[in-house]
Amino acid sequence: MQVIENDLIKEKVCIDKLKCGLTVMCIPKNETSKKYIIFGTNFGSVDNTFLVSGEKNPTIVPDGVAHFLEHKMFEQENGKNSLDVLSALGVNANAYTTNNHTAYLYECTSNFYEALDEFMNYIQSPYFTDENVEKEKGIICQEIGMYLDDPEWKLYLNALDTLYVKNKVKLDPAGSTESVNSINKEILYDCYNNFYKLSNMCLVVVRRF
């Protein structure tokens, strides 16, 4: 296990790589009762072309798949939505997608382990159907339209588009209405199986130890 300490800010992080390949980082906070956890994967909006292990030709997916996948991970086969389950436990949960990673997180002062069971379960148990994928398209397209009406977001995207000619960092993490409508469950499963491997993920826990 690797321990990194900073005497200036009086913080330390303990880092270990488990046998399953998952990197775990623990940050002790013994002066607070709040607990925080984040589970992330190296899969973002720039990762729309990738090489699957054992294949010679690259796989190309529509823009916005990482963000779409983030939306769909909460829906479970038993009909429950894991965000609702976590909220019922008094846990503040959320998720986000950036250019280079997707992350799921929650914070709480109690019910940490009950929430952890649900948290780890839904992230490792994807459930996509033709019906729930089609339903999500309308929700995400509405979200894209909402952000296109935000002057600050438009200014940010236009600045990226001006600064970067070829770099995929200029892409909107949500994609476009056209790219979103071309996503299906097969694409989601392909991306999940390729990027949501524990060896490509990191778990960070901040709490008393």
Q: Active-site residue among 5, 11, 55, 70?
A: 70
Query: Is-catalytic flag, 186?
Result: no
Q: Which of 179, 195, 198, 145 is nearest to 42 (CA)?
A: 195
At residue 107, φ and ψ (nearest 5 deg) are: -135, 150
CB 37 within 8 Å of CB 52: no
Instruction: Classify residue 73 as left (phi > 0), alpha (psi -120 to 50) or beta.
Output: alpha
How far does CA 184 lie from the centroid of its chain? 18
Question: How far lies 64's CA from each of 43, 123, 200, in Å?
Answer: 11, 19, 19
Q: State how far the Cα of 174 lies from the Cα of 72, in Å rounded to an integer.
A: 13
* Active site amino acids: 70
